[in-house]
Amino acid sequence: MTQAKRLGYLGPAGTNTEQACIAYDSGASLLPYPSISEVASAVESNRVDEGVAPIENSVGGGVSVTLDLLIHGSGLLIRNELVLPITHSLLARQGTEPADVRVIYSHPQALEQCRIYLAERLPNAQPVASLSTAAAVEEMLAAPVTSAAIATERAGELHGACLIERGIEDYPNNMTRFVVLAGSDHPRTGDDKTSICFSFDDDAPGILYSVLGEFAGRNINLAKIESRPTREALGRYIFLVDLEGHREDAVVRAALQEVRRQVSMLKIFGSYPRYAMP
């Protein structure tokens, strides 16, 4: 009998990342960890086979912890991706009136995705960042003042919290992209995506244009491009790019070879099947 895959994720149970794990592999053995960094550490030490982490939200943008982990931290690669619609709910103790709430707990991404709702409906509540949406429910229930949490309905059910309102996200098309981290990326499928980052030692007119031209000249579509500080000096950036194609495709390989000649640092995060929305 084949042993179930061990999947590490940002816990505790009840997070959106747990839901992403179930959508990715419903038969996997799910192991929660208190932070994304510890999920990566579990993969590196073979305590789990793969780890699932959020990397990008349609409202809040890139997830800094995951991006920084790929850029500066582990040697893990992206083996797969999936996109999950995100629905946030307001949870509290039984009998809590929203007008009485003084503190609102949630993960920073969830707080950002419900910013307009909070400003309009809970203007007197102080937002407090939690390690996860599920952990926010535990903190809310233990808080000494009247509090609420933004989390999944499942987290409320698991911890005995009362559902105050569902669907409080500011935008109804709120979606989060998750990546599956592993020791190796995915073999070619014919419909793939590759994620990379690069930076320059010197700043000069046209250097970014020249690098991007290597992809444009080969008709390689860029699905995403963004920048993040290098942490070395103000005004210096690392550029993150998602491109269509696999790193082993001849045309992609040729483009990456030319890019490597023009940059001071190039890191390939991995190639993996491009997720198609159902």
SS in 3 state form for 206-246? CHHHHHHHHHHCCCCCEEEEEEEECCCCCCCEEEEEEEECC
Catalytic residue, candidates 152, 178, 200, 215: 178
Contact 163, 89 (CB under 8 A): yes
Closest CA to 237 of 82, 92, 67: 67
Q: How far is CA 201 from the centre of its chain?
A: 28
Contacts with 4 (C-beta within 8 Å, 6 or more apart), sequence order: 27, 28, 29
Buried b (16+ CB within 10 A) or exposed e, 5-35: ebbbbbbbebbbbbbbbbebbeebebbbbee
Residue position matching structure tokens 């982490």: 53
Catalytic residue, candidates 66, 133, 152, 176: 176
Active site residue 200: no
Active site residue 17: no
Contacts with 252 (C-beta within 8 Å, 6 or more apart), sequence order: 194, 218, 220, 243, 245, 246
Strands 61-62 and 77-85: unpaired
Contact 256, 243 (CB under 8 A): no
The two three-digit tokens of residue 143, written as one number: 């808080």
The two three-digit tokens of residue 145, written as one number: 């003042």
The two three-digit tokens of residue 12, written as one number: 């505790």
Residues with catalytic roles: 176, 178
